[in-house]
């Protein structure tokens, strides 16, 4: 069995509130296939509200010491308990006063994962959640949780509590996070997270069980632990449902065959996150790729010290192995020996970076190319084609051109996967919004479909394998394979190229970032552009917009979703720059600047995006006084 049990992390001082906490299951070896009878006693423990528990784009992320209750400033001993109690109260209020009956609790394996699982299970049991499903080892990728919520035992889970700070680093001094997915496998919407936040400012007690032993998360799937007379934890196999949905989405037999092609090879970088074991299971065990196709696929609490975010900067190792330089351009000599296809995941396995030998595919291009090649993907093909596509607003318009030529509806949403979920349908409202099969993605390295309600890193890799299989269906034996770079170039020739890149300024002082946003609003969004001086660059600011979104399904309005500056070059070329503050950081502010320029001249397609966009970046940086206000001379990341 490929399963490797992990050691349970050391308990923090909190353990004294749960005395006696003792692992009765001794070292994770014993099997308890029947419910244990050693349940604890229900308790209600007084607490007080803790400020600042407002979830961001994707859950609540804080320094792990805050969650542990050992931070120098915020020493709240019940941080996890308060958050989970607020979450449960909100879920209960949304569910006609009924506490959820079945919940999954799983994490990406980062530092504090295992201890948080123990605490959360007790609070769930204390609140009367009957069935708590915990994956063996405690680790599950976000897409796998989504699949399990939707389909395990006929989709009977009411939701999932996912312990992740996604692509943020883990370990002492780094981030921990918790997010909630609702019963159709989708991240809870703003209405839910706002209500949770309100609740967190009111609560005066939480419910838990005391005196029950820790559950053994390394026990075999099927093992049950009773935490209270009415609540039990069942250890589940993390892979079952996810493998099933991917098998339904792709042609595994065909991929198995292609995997044997002597000129075809892949490389998957798990960045020591939760995606690794899933890559092992699917790429190696199910599809037969050699073990050498994996790197960094063993989950580690600190992600091996890396920043588990798949982009050109943080996935440097993979980028190099794929024959690429850090600006995404080809390093020709390295490219000649690179694998055919490379991909990298983030900490919780929902993001993806796609590269061919010597060819970085920007996420926005990848999305457009998957869309254009929908026939290669059985999930779309079986249903007779796509019924809807969507991208987040800061993603490039590469998708728009394809959607137009295929004549399918396109939606442009704010940043955040939850906005896509709404368009794909929930269990209750499915008939109101059938845009499925649906394809969507974001510039932030997210791609996915309605097979689940999260973005899916491995799905993107399988999609690209399928595209390559299709592209090579007429390649004769002994002929060189059509490569990723050929698919990409053909696409640009057909549709034009959207040069695209993003600058990130991480951990900027919040005040400075807000000042910059105010300046953009005052001077450009609401200002008089005709009063602007001519710039020697010849790149003229011609229009602006602050993005707001009205959900076409439920009518909800989301405002302040990015400041868009439209530019025109002297030769008439159009370009766009967007400024937006990240919603996923945990300290200070991260300024994101998204640059995009459409190019129809084939001669330029070979150039690297950052160099094509450099003068546009300089112009925008000067206009918004980024350097003056933040003191930053260069970005932390260019991708």
Ligand X SMILES: O=P(O)(O)OC[C@H]1O[C@H](O)[C@H](O)[C@@H](O)[C@@H]1O
Q: Tell the smallest beta-carbon distance from residue 461 to Mg ion (Å).
A: 15
Instruction: Return the one option of Mg ion, ligand X, none that residue 446 interacts with (CB less than 5 to 8 A, by type).
Output: ligand X
Q: Which residue is nearest to Mg ion (CB)?
A: 166
What DSSP assignment string belongs to 405-417? HHT--EEEE-SST
Instruction: Return the one option of ligand X, Mg ion, none that residue 442 interacts with (CB less than 5 to 8 A, by type).
Output: ligand X
Q: Tell the smallest beta-carbon distance from residue 166 to ligand X (Å).
A: 5
Contacts of 263 (CB under 8 A, 6+ apart): 340, 480, 481
From residue 619, alpha-carbon distances to 373, 397, 633 in Å are 36, 21, 14
| Selected binder of Mg ion within 82, 166, 183, 208 (CB under 5 A) | 166
Q: Tell how strand 131-135 and strand 102-107 pair up.
A: parallel
**Closer CB to ligand X, 233 or 439, in the complex:** 439
**Residue 456 in tokens:** 């899916």
**Closer CB to Mg ion, 348 or 450, in the complex:** 348
Distance CA 217, CA 215 (A): 6
Burial 301-317 (b: 16+ CB within 10 A, else e): bbbbebbbbbbbbbbee
Burial status of residue 325 (CB atoms within 10 A of its CB: 0-12, 13-18, 19 or more): middle
Binding site for ligand X (CB under 6 A): 57-58, 166, 392, 415-417, 442, 444, 446, 582-584, 592
Among candidate residues 328, 213, 426, the one with its CA nearest the CA of residue 637: 328
3-state SS class at 18: helix
Q: Tell the smallest beta-carbon distance from residue 585 to ligand X (Å).
A: 6
Residues facing 8 on adjacent strands? none
CB 223 within 8 A of CB 33: yes
Q: Which residue is nearest to ligand X (CB)?
A: 582
**Closer CB to Mg ion, 349 or 437, in the complex:** 349
Q: Tell the smallest beta-carbon distance from residue 184 to ligand X (Å).
A: 16
**Closer CB to Mg ion, 100 or 169, in the complex:** 169
**Closer CB to ligand X, 60 or 357, in the complex:** 60
Q: Tell the smallest beta-carbon distance from residue 620 to ligand X (Å).
A: 17
* Ramachandran bin of 26, using left for φ above 0, alpha for ψ from -120 to 50, beta for the remaining angles: left
Distance CA 420, CA 376 (A): 22
Q: Is 174 in the site for Mg ion (CB under 5 A)?
A: no
**Closer CB to ligand X, 442 or 450, in the complex:** 442
**Closer CB to ligand X, 416 or 610, in the complex:** 416
Q: Which one of 151-159, 249-257, 343-351, 436-444 is the stretch in contact with Mg ion (CB under 5 A)?
A: 343-351
Q: Is 346 in the site for Mg ion (CB under 5 A)?
A: yes
Contacts of 53 (CB under 8 A, 6+ apart): 60, 82, 83, 86, 196, 197, 200
Instruction: Return the one option of Mg ion, ligand X, none that residue 348 interacts with (CB less than 5 to 8 A, by type).
Output: Mg ion
Q: Tell the smallest beta-carbon distance from residue 87 to Mg ion (Å).
A: 19
CB 41 within 8 A of CB 213: no
Whether cis (ω within 30° of 0) applies to the bond prior to 348 is: no
Instruction: Return the one option of Mg ion, ligand X, none that residue 596 interacts with (CB less than 5 to 8 A, by type).
Output: none
Q: Is 158 in the site for Mg ion (CB under 5 A)?
A: no
State CA 439 to chain mean position distance.
Answer: 15
336 counts as catalytic: no
Among candidate residues 81, 78, 43, 93, the one with its CA nearest the CA of residue 161: 81
For Mg ion (CB under 5 A), the number of binding residues is 5
**Closer CB to ligand X, 95 or 636, in the complex:** 636
User: What residues numbered 348-367 form the site for Mg ion, per CB under 5 A?
Assistant: 348, 350-351
Residue among 166, 212, 366, 466 flagged as catalytic: 166
Q: Tell the smallest beta-carbon distance from residue 309 to ligand X (Å).
A: 9
Distance CA 390, CA 423 (A): 9
Q: Tell the smallest beta-carbon distance from residue 108 to ligand X (Å).
A: 12
Residues forming the active site: 166
């Amino acid at each position: 069995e490929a399963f490797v049990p992990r050691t349970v992390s050391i308990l923090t001082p909190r353990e004294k509130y749960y005395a006696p906490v003792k692992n009765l299951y001794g070292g994770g070896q014993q099997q308890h296939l029947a419910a244990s009878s050693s349940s604890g006693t229900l308790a209600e423990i007084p607490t007080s509200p803790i400020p600042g528990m407002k979830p961001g784009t994707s859950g609540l992320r804080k320094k792990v010491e805050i969650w542990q209750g050992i931070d120098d400033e915020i020493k709240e001993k019940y941080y996890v308990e308060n958050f989970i109690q607020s979450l449960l109260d909100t879920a209960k209020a949304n569910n006609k006063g009924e506490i959820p009956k079945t919940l999954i609790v799983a994490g990406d394996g980062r530092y504090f994962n295992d201890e948080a699982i123990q605490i959360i299970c007790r609070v769930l049991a204390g609140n009367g959640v009957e069935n708590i499903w915990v994956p063996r080892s405690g680790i599950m990728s976000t897409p796998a949780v989504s699949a399990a919520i939707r389909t395990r035992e006929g989709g009977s889970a009411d939701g999932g509590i996912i312990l992740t700070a996604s692509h943020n680093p883990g370990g002492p001094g780094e981030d921990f996070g918790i997010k909630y997915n609702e019963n159709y496998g989708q991240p809870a919407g703003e209405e839910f997270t706002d209500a949770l936040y309100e609740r967190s400012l009111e609560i005066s007690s939480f419910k838990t069980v005391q005196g029950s032993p820790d559950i053994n998360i390394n026990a075999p799937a099927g093992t049950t632990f009773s935490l209270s007379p009415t609540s039990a934890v069942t250890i589940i196999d993390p892979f079952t449902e996810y493998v099933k949905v991917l098998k339904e989405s792709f042609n595994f037999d065909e991929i198995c065959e292609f995997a044997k092609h002597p000129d075809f090879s892949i490389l998957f970088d798990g960045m020591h996150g939760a995606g690794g074991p899933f890559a092992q299971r699917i790429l190696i065990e199910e599809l037969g790729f050699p073990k050498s196709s994996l790197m960094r696929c063993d989950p580690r609490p600190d992600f091996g010290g890396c920043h588990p975010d798949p982009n050109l900067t943080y996935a440097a190792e993979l980028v190099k192995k794929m024959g690429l330089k850090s600006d995404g351009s080809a390093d020709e000599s390295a490219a000649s020996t690179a694998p055919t296809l490379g991909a990298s995941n983030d900490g919780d396995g929902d993001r993806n970076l796609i590269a061919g030998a010597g060819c970085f595919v920007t996420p926005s291009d990848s999305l457009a190319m998957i869309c254009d090649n929908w026939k290669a993907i059985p999930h779309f093909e079986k249903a007779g084609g796509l019924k809807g596509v969507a991208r987040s607003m800061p993603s490039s318009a590469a998708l728009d051109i394809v959607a137009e030529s295929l004549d399918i509806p396109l939606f442009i949403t704010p940043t955040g996967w939850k906005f896509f979920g709404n368009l794909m349908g929930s269990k209750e409202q499915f008939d109101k919004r059938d845009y499925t099969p649906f394809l969507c993605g974001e510039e932030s390295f997210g791609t996915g479909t309605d097979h689940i309600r999260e973005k899916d890193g491995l799905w993107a890799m399988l999609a690209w394998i399928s595209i390559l299989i299709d592209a090579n269906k007429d390649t004769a034996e002994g002929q060189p394979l059509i490569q990723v770079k050929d698919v990409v170039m053909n696409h640009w020739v057909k549709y034009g190229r959207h040069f695209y890149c993003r600058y990130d300024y991480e951990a900027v002082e919040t005040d400075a970032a807000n000042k910059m946003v105010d300046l953009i609003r005052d001077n450009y969004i609401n200002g008089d552009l005709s009063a602007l001086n001519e710039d020697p660059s010849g790149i003229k600011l011609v229009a602006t917009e602050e993005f707001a979104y009205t959900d076409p399904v439920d009518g909800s309005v989301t405002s302040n979703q990015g400041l868009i500056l439209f530019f025109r070059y002297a030769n008439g070329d159009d370009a766009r720059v967007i400024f937006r503050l990240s919603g996923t950081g945990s300290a200070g502010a991260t300024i994101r600047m998204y640059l995009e320029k459409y190019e129809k001249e084939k001669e330029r397609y070979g150039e690297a995006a950052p160099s094509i966009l450099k003068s546009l970046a300089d112009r925008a940086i000067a206009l918004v006084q980024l350097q003056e206000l933040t003191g930053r001379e260069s970005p932390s990341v260019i991708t």
